[in-house]
Amino acid sequence: MVRIFSFDYGAVLKQAFQMQFMLLFSRQGKLRLQKWYIAHPDKLKKKITRELITTILARKPKMCSFLEWRDLKIVYKRYASLYFCCAIEQDDNELLTLEIIHRYVELLDKYFGSVCELDIIFNFEKAYFILDELLLGGEVQETSKKNVLKAIAAQDLLQEDEAVEGALRDIGLL
Amino acid sequence: MNNGGMYPYYESDWSVLPPEANRRFNPAFNMATIKQVVNEAIERVRMPTPMRLRDLIRQIRAARTAAEERSVVNKECAYIRSTFREEDSVWRCRNIAKLLYIHMLGYPAHFGQLECLKLIASSRFTDKRIGYLGAMLLLDERQDVHLLITNCLKNDLNSTTQFVVGLALCTLGAIASPEMARDLAGEVERLMKSPNAYVRKKAALCAFRIVRRVPELMEMFLPATRSMLSEKNHGVLITGVTLITEMCVNSPDTLNHFKKIVPNLVRILKNLILAGYSPEHDVSGISDPFLQVKILKLLRVLGINDVDTSEAMNDILAQVATNTETSKNVGNTILYETVLSIMDIKSEGGLRVLAVNILGRFLLNNDKNIRYVALNTLLRTVHVDSAAVQRHRATVLECLKDPDVSIRRRAMELSFALINSQNIRTMTKELVNFLEKADPEFKAPCSSSIVLATERYAPTRRWRLDTLLKVLVAAGNYIRDDVISSTIQLISESPTHQGYVTLQLYRALKEDLQNRQPLIQVGVWCIGEYGDLLTSAQSDDDIQPPTEEEVVEVYQRVLWSPQNTVTTKQYALMSLVKLSTRFTNTVSKIQSMIATFRSSLHVELQQRGVEFSQLFGNYSHLRAGLLERMPPLDAGGTGRGSDANQLNGEVEEEGMLGGGSPEGDEEEAIGAISNTNALLDFLDLDVINPAARTPPANVPPPGLLTSSHSQPSMTNNTNNQDLLDLLGLGPLGPPTVPPTENNNGSQPPAMPAPLDNGNLDFLAGGEGVFAPPVMNNVILEKQLPQMTAYEKDGLRVIFGLEKPTAGSANPDTLTIHVTANNNTLSNMTDFLFQVAVPRTFQLQMMSPSGTTILPNGKVTQIIKVSNPSKNVLKMKVKLSYVIDGNPVNDQIEVNNFPVDIWD
């Protein structure tokens, strides 16, 4: 397993993405969301996740938000009981990554209405959908909050319509 | 139909997503009502339905133990599997959603991969949305599945619903393999020209991903990319800039091609800064920082090494640098990116100063993140703009006191990078203060770095010695062995200061000694060597030099204190016996102190007690000769060239140039002797009993005659020359066989007859600092063709290739001299180097010179590879070591051996 890790790591460096992954986890160390922009075997993902959660939870609150971890730069920030953690390239702007995390939190907050950890647990797929309208392939695709929320709302509506339509068809009304 | 008592396993609900979740953003209240009616109707018609996602999550969260959770999950997984087998398409979406939650908890969920593809193929948007989410989470790069998903993606990329196209693009952007990239690049290129901005921006980032994975596909995207910069939509702009940046990084041609867009970029950036408040893109008073940063980054890529292009962006960079509001993180984000651009392009001198000053301001920022970024960036630029960074030295030193450990670490590194011959005194003073209060994890690297810095820049020998003493006091037990040995060495080669230093050390020994074993070790070594100078020392102040009795009292304390380690006591005992030849009126006291160790419970100490006592009895006539002062030691691992530096620097204070001859000459003259002397110590330690090789921590310093077995290792210390001849080493010509004087009797020490290079390596590489560069070995290394087999994380492994010679006994055996260098500041321990070769080869590995590599030290090993069938050599290398407590494992293949090895 260790071997796999070091091997894949070399490959990662050559084709490093702006953001390699984003993890959300709780103060208790429970993973709440994981978004990988880089192809890793599942085993490796788990190993990275486990190591990072342990490392970050061990840090004291007054420490800065950056962490050099293996060859990656880790940017993390805690919002209430949730940690938002991103891995970026050595050369990237870690302050901007903090802004991206903050933008994501704002979007979650707007969508759920003062978001809390439980919202993200029970509606984890929504949290993914929102992230996927903000970032694509690890890069920012939309800088307007309004546009992101509009896209999500429109897609939610599509689902609603289908639900009703399906139900009506099911009982023979359509 | 309840399953397991209180919990209703089957329950009805139509939507895969709980209606409660939707209420906040869906104002259509009556929708929920309709659904409820509908659901009830369905319930009557169809039973049973699978557990809802929400209920599964509740049930899992209610589990009190891991075992309980596992049982809930396993049961549900078994159920989900069964529905997959039955091709239940009605509940597939809900089951996959549950499976994704289970997957996040860390349970295997890959059996859902194909079901995700079925969802994607469904015509319902709900199915597609969950299906694509599942694909992004569950798919690895398995070829068969990818072929299927490529077809699905192709379909959806052609959908008329923008959100379906969006889902497909998003998925492609997240998991595109090279094959998928090739198959779908055409579709993506088409979508980049879509009239719909929502589709266009996603397509641009998909193209970004495709170019990343398959750079040769770049060409086809060029025309569509160019037009993206004329957009008003920020989403399209930022994705376009991102894509262009990626293309430029990948291809110099494209980079040149895009240089002409610099004016466009400058215009966009200018509009952003000058634009008034726009609510849609505002972040704390700054207009679209995300886009600004991306443009700055692209400018950096375009301006590197290009004076003209850089010239075109000087103004805007200055404008951004001066006009950006810095009260919030977001403003500093832009400034930071601006600084990076200014530093990387060929910018004007004034602009560079401005950039470094911004970093200087960052250092004073209240936000620790900003301070961290500043230190990091200064560390990167210090080698380019040293003078500009030097101006912020005081602030950097201030950061050594920062409460945040990451910042202190960076500040420490930057401080060491800032040291030069002008500021060495003040910098060292601050760093020694830092060392005193530093966390344990800093003490070792910090003290070693101070030692290195003083070695390079020390203004005078006396100052350097004083500094080393301070380090010994401040870093206590955290000091690495290299500091101990380099201190002893420096003292031994500074004859004019030995009295002074010994007095200082003596005074330090009278203070609190707890947790300062290295200090005691250096202290007693010096007192032992230079005890006569100590009692007659002239000190700067009026305090009288200590009397012999006072000195011996200190030994009493050191030797009987339970806090001192056995190694320290070994040093002290050796030193004490030496004192018996330096002192006159305390000899009998010393003798009795040593005699008490004849019954020490510790075998090493007892042995010394017994042996040294002999020197007061039957062999007392030998004592004076055996315990003579050590000749100056030769510099080992910690870098020579210190003298050159010193000669270039200020003239030494107070008669350093003793007798008008520069010290360098003096040193050279005694070089040969000291070389062999150090070697002798090694022979004493290692060769006689190679099996019992001691780890470096326990290796006593040169001059400590150890004999961990009954053999009399105290051969004639005054007669180095003979032994030297015996070994046939160095410049002294071919081996002769002189009579070995063996006063103590029984048998001569077992010496290996001819020392081949392997043994020399073994001796030379062994314990870093003490090991002198043995001449034969140096020549050998120079002559051999070398290749770097491995270089990562500060570990460098070099292969010196000794080709088989035609006439030799083994004409097809390649000898590889492996040298592993440690370029980090930490010890590498438990170093293990393993090699495998294909079956047609035969491999023979000699034992390595050690398992610990000190900073700047090395370990050597010899490998012999025979190749009777003359195949091309391939080698698998496995490396492992422990650094700062962390195990490192790595494996590489070495295939780049020269082809002509076996010609």
User: What is the C-alpha to C-alpha distance for residues B363 and A164, in angstroms, rounded to an integer?
Assistant: 59
Q: Mutation test of the interface with chain A: which of B56, B170, B377, B891, choosing the one with the most A Cβ atoms within 10 A?
A: B170
Residue B177 sits at the chain A interface (C-beta within 8 Å): yes
List chain B residues with CB under 8 Å of A13. Answer: none
If you average pLDDT over each of B253-262, B515-524, B696-705, B799-808, which comes out highest? B253-262
Nearest to A122 among B21, B174, B404 (CB): B21
Residue B336 sits at the chain A interface (C-beta within 8 Å): yes
Nearest to B238 among A15, A37, A143 (CB): A143
Residue B280 sits at the chain A interface (C-beta within 8 Å): yes
Q: What angle do CA B797, B803, B809 make, to 5 degrees?
A: 130
> How is chain B split among helix, strand and coil, in percent rounded to 5?
60, 10, 30
Residue B142 sits at the chain A interface (C-beta within 8 Å): no
Q: Mutation test of the interface with chain A: which of B890, B892, B893, choosing the one with the most A Cβ atoms within 10 A?
A: B890
The predicted model gives B222-243 an average pLDDT of 93
CATH class name, domain A16-170: alpha beta
Could you give the strand order of the β-sheet that contains A82-88, starting from the edge strand earlier in sequence?
A31-36, A19-26, A82-88, A72-79, A66-69
Instruction: Evaluate if residue B901 carries a pLDDT over 60.
Output: yes
For residue A16, what pLDDT is reported? 40
User: Are A111 and B403 inside 8 Å of each other by CB?
Assistant: no
Q: Determine contact, residues B116/B175, Cβ cutoff 8 Å.
A: no
Instruction: Evaluate if residue B63 carries a pLDDT over 70.
Output: yes
Residue B283 sits at the chain A interface (C-beta within 8 Å): yes
List chain A residues with CB under 8 Å of B31. Answer: 160, 164
User: Are B129 and A3 inside 8 Å of each other by CB?
Assistant: no
User: Are A62 and B100 inside 8 Å of each other by CB?
Assistant: no
DSSP H or E run through B534: helix B517-535
With cut-offs at 50, 70 and 90, classify the pLDDT of residue B538: low
For residue B542, what pLDDT is reported? 65
What digits encode the pLDDT tens for the residues B257-283?
999 999 999 999 999 988 777 888 989
For residue B29, what pLDDT is reported? 54
Nearest to B405 among A18, A63, A142 (CB): A63
List chain B residues with CB under 8 Å of A26. Answer: none
Q: Determine contact, residues B605/B567, Cβ cutoff 8 Å.
A: no
Give chain B's mean pLDDT. 78
User: What is the C-alpha to C-alpha distance for residues B717 and B575, in angstroms, rounded to an integer?
Assistant: 16
What digits encode the pLDDT tens for the residues A80-117?
999 999 999 888 899 999 999 999 999 999 999 999 99
Residue B28 sits at the chain A interface (C-beta within 8 Å): yes
Task: Considering only residues B582 and B539, tell me which one the structure prediction assigns the higher pLDDT.
Answer: B582
Domain regions of chain A by residue span: 16-170
For residue B248, what pLDDT is reported? 93
Instruction: Evaluate if residue B201 carries a pLDDT over 50.
Output: yes
Q: Mutation test of the interface with chain B: which of A44, A46, A64, A126, choosing the one with the most B Cβ atoms within 10 A?
A: A64
What digits encode the pLDDT tens for the residues A34-74?
999 988 888 899 999 999 999 999 988 888 999 888 888 99
User: Are A125 and B100 inside 8 Å of each other by CB?
Assistant: yes
List chain B residues with CB under 8 Å of A145. Answer: 280
For residue B743, what pLDDT is reported? 40
Angle between helices B162-175 and B197-213 (to 10 degrees): 20
With cut-offs at 50, 70 and 90, classify the pLDDT of residue B220: very high
Q: Tokens for B429, please give them.
A: 């003073």
For residue B756, what pLDDT is reported? 40
| Residue B190 neighbours by CB under 8 Å, 6+ apart | none
User: Are A160 and B57 inside 8 Å of each other by CB?
Assistant: no
User: What is the C-alpha to C-alpha distance for residues B93 and B99, in angstroms, rounded to an integer?
Assistant: 10
Report which of B543, B525, B397, B536 is spatially closest to residue B472, judged by C-alpha positions: B525
Task: Considering only residues B773 and B182, tell me which one the structure prediction assigns the higher pLDDT.
Answer: B182
Predicted ipTM beyond 0.95:
no
If you average pLDDT over each of A132-136, B344-348, B695-699, B832-836, which comes out highest? A132-136
List chain A residues with CB under 8 Å of B235. Answer: 141-144, 147
CATH topology of domain B781-894: Immunoglobulin-like (2.60.40)
**How many CA atoms lie less than 13 Å away from B671 in the CB half-sphere?**
16
Q: Mutation test of the interface with chain B: which of A51, A93, A145, choosing the one with the most B Cβ atoms within 10 A?
A: A93
**How many CA atoms lie less than 13 Å away from B620 in the CB half-sphere?**
9
Domain regions of chain B by residue span: 3-46, 474-626, 781-894
| Helix/strand/coil for B860 | strand
The predicted model gives B249-259 an average pLDDT of 92
